[in-house]
Amino acid sequence: MLRVKSFEFNLFNEKTYIVWDEQTMQAAVIDPGCYDDFEQEEIKSFIEQEKLNLVLLLNTHCHIDHILGVSFIKENFNPKYLAPERDLPLLQNAAAQGQMFGFEIFSLPEPDEFISEEKIIKIGSEELIPLFTPGHTAGEYCFYSAKNKICITGDVLFHQSIGRTDLWGGDYNTLIESIRKKLLTLPVDTRIFPGHGIESTIGIERKQNPFLQNI
């Protein structure tokens, strides 16, 4: 079984997730937004207390609020780092992104590997399927576990909302098409874990999300 733990970090109330395989205790951190000492200690303590073997660091996309903790996680646990190739300019300009919002951030590590729909992400005996879902950024991916009926949706799909499209790489029509083809086709009881806000399900969003009623 794949377990999920969420944290809410930084001034954007960004959701960072740890997912792990109960059988092997291998784990992945998704979108680490931990910025200050308190936030960094919170996630570090959880990983150590649960005796997780952190093997992967994943980014759904590379906006500043989702990458603030990348260096901390990489330096402290040295997991393999996977990120979207089309978001590499965002990652490489992290310092400039940070300055816009008052964050002091230096250059971040380059990804060890790029995410692709052709490569299943393995966490112990569990698997995450990358779903290419651009529109919020040029390269964003969601991560789906069919077995566990969960999907980490980053800033693509929220409870009764969708991602912004007025930032770098954003395009409204592309985002809607990503949601229609890649997310709304998932089983209705799939739980979604977004990059901000509360958990929901595909079924709830199909029925109640005001942005998705005419697509």
In the chain, what are the domains? 2-212 (3.60.15.10)
User: What confidence score (pLDDT) does residue 71 get?
Assistant: 96
| Per-residue tokens: 125 | 């005996």
**Whether the predicted pLDDT of 72 surpasses 90:** yes
- Taking only Cα atoms into account, the Rg of the chain, rounded to an integer number of angstroms, comes to 16
**Whether the predicted pLDDT of 63 surpasses 90:** yes
Question: β-strands 126-132, 80-83: how paired?
Answer: unpaired
**Whether the predicted pLDDT of 49 surpasses 90:** yes
User: What confidence score (pLDDT) does residue 2 get?
Assistant: 97
User: What confidence score (pLDDT) does residue 139 get?
Assistant: 98
Question: β-strands 191-194, 121-123: how paired?
Answer: unpaired
Picking from 43, 12, 8, the residue whose alpha carbon sits closest to that of residue 29 is 43
How far apart, in whole angstroms, are the C-alpha atoms of residue 67 and residue 69?
A: 5
State mean pLDDT over 154-181.
Answer: 96
* Percentage, residues of the chain above pLDDT 90: 90
State mean pLDDT over 185-191.
Answer: 98
Least confident of 13-22, 81-90, 163-172: 163-172
**Whether the predicted pLDDT of 135 surpasses 90:** yes
